[in-house]
């Protein structure tokens, strides 16, 4: 789901500058690096909500893993571009979160990412999210 299709959902914006290390020989962002940008956006979104990975692991024994990810590469980003990673929740279940992440350069839509995160315990088994986190996330749906 792109931002246009989710007008009532809160969107978290995270800026990412394209560095030399992010590009290929042609100076274009290497496709896998968009997934890294999306990961950073999700991490900072979670921190913005008052949670972070270390706290969730230490206090709740919870870690996240990507269960499914799909990316639609629309236009390329280039060296030194300042990108806007836009993150929004599309669905929250007991042990999963689905999100849409769109990467823009100014008003130009570059990449659309759909991701489903699984909540796991430290041994890698599925676990339900703590109720307080689920309530916060459902407030962002």
pLDDT in tens, 47-101: 999 999 999 999 999 999 999 999 999 999 999 999 999 999 999 999 999 999 9
pTM value?
0.89
**CB 23, CB 78: distance < 8 Å:** yes
Question: Has 24 been annotated as catalytic?
Answer: yes
Token couple for 41:
């956006």
Classify domain 3-129 at the CATH topology level.
Thiol Ester Dehydrase; Chain A (3.10.129)
From residue 84, alpha-carbon distances to 11, 52, 67, 107 in Å are 11, 21, 24, 9
**Catalytic one among 22, 24, 60, 84?**
24
Phi/psi at 123 (5° precision): -85, -5
Alpha carbon distance 138, 49 (integer Å):
12
pLDDT tens digits for range 89-140 = 999 999 999 999 999 999 999 999 999 999 999 899 999 999 999 989 888 6
Q: What pLDDT was estimated at residue 2? A: 42
Percent of the chain at pLDDT above 70?
Answer: 93
């Amino acid at each position: 789901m792109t931002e246009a299709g989710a007008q009532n959902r809160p969107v978290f914006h995270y800026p990412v500058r394209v560095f030399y290390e992010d590009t290929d020989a042609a100076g274009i962002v290497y496709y896998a690096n968009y997934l890294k940008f999306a990961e950073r956006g999700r991490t900072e979104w979670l921190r913005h909500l008052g949670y972070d990975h270390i706290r969730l692991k230490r206090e709740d024994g919870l870690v996240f893993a990507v269960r499914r990810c799909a990316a639609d590469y629309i236009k390329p980003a280039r060296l030194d571009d300042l990108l806007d990673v836009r993150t929004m929740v599309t669905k929250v279940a007991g042990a999963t979160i689905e999100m849409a992440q769109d990467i823009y350069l100014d008003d130009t839509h570059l990449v659309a990412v759909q991701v489903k995160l699984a909540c796991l315990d430290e041994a890698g088994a599925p676990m339900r999210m703590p109720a307080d986190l689920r309530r916060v996330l459902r407030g962002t749906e």
